[in-house]
């Protein structure tokens, strides 16, 4: 996905109170959704609220009524799973307890329905027509079953000259289906029964606190694994170094032993040579003494006239 586009501009509309001061909109009855829809609604509500939190005069509401006729507040209303309105007096809207189009000055810019077994037929028929009539700028539908209810995982419509036109959807090789929402300046993506939001300006997907925590834990686990691998490698290097030092010490000990043995052999050889020299000296002395005895005896015989 490539980036383009600046954030959509939204003029601020002053709130015009039509109904009596202190009027509170009728509260929606509690509706239990299936668990899969609950998870998607909770995640997408947090994601879009966080994403829009730095934009002033922006209303993000999940599960509240949008009232489109002040003459019949109990019947002329519709309840999107999530809707967004830019450029409105959010404080006055919240004070009413519901979104009254006539007072706020404009219909929602963006609305989302999540498929459930009890509502999916209305989402693709009656609700779509009503959203078009009251002027909702974009209408998106997501099926967390992978398309079993709607017949498709994800679809979006944009209001052009009073009629809805389908937003172009792209199917990637990995099975991701996505389309671009000009109102949010985000790409909505359906993958593995999850609804993801991709910000082309940052090149990242929006993440809930739970997903961010899981990502941090995963990153921490990877760092721990990497640290353990480095420590293991260092321990192996220390073991190898110790083995080399041990081998060198053994070679030094062996060399010293050979040198000691050679020195002892040299000492023994020198001792033998010394002993041989002493024997030669002794032999020479005996021979010298014998020669002297022979000379003296010869001299004695001569004196005796023999």
Calpha distance 142→119 (Å, rounded): 12
Burial class (CB in 10 A: 0-12, 13-18, 19+), 222: exposed
State if pTM tops 0.85.
no
Looking only at the bridges linking them, the beta strands covering 110-114 and 99-100 are: unpaired
Report the distance separating Cα 169 and Cα 158, nearest Å.
12
Where does residue 263 rank: exposed (0-12), middle (13-18), buried (19+ CB within 10 A)? exposed
- Strands lying side by side in the sheet with 186-191: 169-171, 177-181, 186-191, 194-199, 204-205
The residue written with tokens 């005996």 in the block is 286
What is the per-residue pLDDT for 218? 81
Between CA 40 and CA 143 the distance in angstroms is 10
CA 243 to chain centre: 39
Q: How far apart are CA 292 and CA 249, in angstroms?
A: 63
C-alpha 267 chain-centroid distance: 74
Taking alpha carbons only, the member of 116, 54, 57, 135 closest to residue 89 is 57
How many angstroms separate the CA atoms of 73 and 76, rounded? 6
Tell me how far apart the alpha carbons of residues 89 and 84 are, in angstroms, rounded to a whole number.
13
Q: Look at residues 145, 139, 128 and name the one whose alpha carbon lies nearest to residue 195.
A: 145
CA angle 41, 43, 46 (to 5 degrees): 105
Query: Can you tell me which residue has the tokens 């709130």?
Result: 15
Q: Of all residues in the chain, what percent are helix, strand and coil, respectively (each to 5)?
A: 45, 20, 35
> What's phi and psi for 289, nearest 5 deg?
-65, -40
Could you give the CA distance from residue 25 to residue 302 in angstroms, rounded to a whole number?
167
Dihedral (CA of 239, 241, 247, 253) sign: negative
Ranges of residues in the chain whose predicted pLDDT is under 50: 2-8, 32
**What is the per-residue pLDDT for 31?**
52
- Cα–Cα dist 66/96, whole Å: 11
What is the distance between the terminal CA atoms of the chain, rounded to a whole angstrom? 141
pLDDT at residue 292 in the model: 87
Residue reference for tokens 């959704």: 33
Report how far residue 166's alpha carbon sits from residue 155's, in angstroms, rounded to the nearest whole number. 8
């Amino acid at each position: 996905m490539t980036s383009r586009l600046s954030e959509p501009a939204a003029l601020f509309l002053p709130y015009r109170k039509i109904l009596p001061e202190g009027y509170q909109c009728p509260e929606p009855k509690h509706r239990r959704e299936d668990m899969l829809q609950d998870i998607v609604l909770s995640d997408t509500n947090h994601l879009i609220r966080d994403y829009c939190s730095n934009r002033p005069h922006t209303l993000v509401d999940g599960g509240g009524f949008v009232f489109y006729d002040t003459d019949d507040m109990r019947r002329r209303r519709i309840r999107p799973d999530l809707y967004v309105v830019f450029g409105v007096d959010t404080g006055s809207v919240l004070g009413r307890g519901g979104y009254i189009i006539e007072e706020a000055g404009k219909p929602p810019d963006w609305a989302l329905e999540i498929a459930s077994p009890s509502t999916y037929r209305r989402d693709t028929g009656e609700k779509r027509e009503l959203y078009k009539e009251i002027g909702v700028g974009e209408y998106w539908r997501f099926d967390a079953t992978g398309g079993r209810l709607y017949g498709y995982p994800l679809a979006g419509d944009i209001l052009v000259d009073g009629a809805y036109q389908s937003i172009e959807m792209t199917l990637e090789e990995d099975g991701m289906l996505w389309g671009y929402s000009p109102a949010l300046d985000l790409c909505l993506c359906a993958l593995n029964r999850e609804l993801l939001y991709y910000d082309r300006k940052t090149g990242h997907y929006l993440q809930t606190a739970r997903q961010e925590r899981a990502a941090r834990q995963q990153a921490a686990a990877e760092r721990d694994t990497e640290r353990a691998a480095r420590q293991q490698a260092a321990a192996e290097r220390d073991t190898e170094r110790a083995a080399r030092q041990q081998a060198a010490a053994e070679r030094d000990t062996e060399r010293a032993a050979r040198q000691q043995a050679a020195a002892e052999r040299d000492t023994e050889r020198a001792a033998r040579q010394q002993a041989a020299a002493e024997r030669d000296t002794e032999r020479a002395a005996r021979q010298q003494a014998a020669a002297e005895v022979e000379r003296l005896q010869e001299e004695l015989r001569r004196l005796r006239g023999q």
